[in-house]
Amino acid sequence: MTDGDRSTEQARPRKPPGAVHLALTLVPLVVLACIYYDWWPSRYGAARWADPLLFGAAAAFVLPICAGVWAIRAPHAACGVVEGRGRGDDHG
């Protein structure tokens, strides 16, 4: 899409992260809370440490990514920034 096409396109307001992103953020938090409070039901007797380690590593990988998306998108949605227009532009 070129700049000329973008100017004729209707400007859409930015939206905060949605329900899917909220779920992707809450799942790692619940996993980390279960590991912290030792609420983890392990299926393997001798390797009880394997499940929490693997799920905890996945949660520690996903959580900063989700937090970064929240940190970037939420303030822009709260300020009412519209695509194609800068914050300092006064088009009134």
The model's confidence at residue 57, banded by pLDDT at 50, 70 and 90, is very high
- The answer, yes or no, to whether residue 40 has pLDDT greater than 90, is no
Whether 41 and 52 have beta carbons less than 8 Å apart is answered as no
Indicate the pTM of the whole model. Answer: 0.60
Whether 57 and 31 have beta carbons less than 8 Å apart is answered as no
What ranges do the domains of the chain cover? Answer: 18-79
Residue 11 is classified by DSSP as P
pLDDT at 62: 92
- The answer, yes or no, to whether residue 82 has pLDDT greater than 90, is no
Quote the CA–CA distance of 45 and 53 in Å, as a whole number: 15
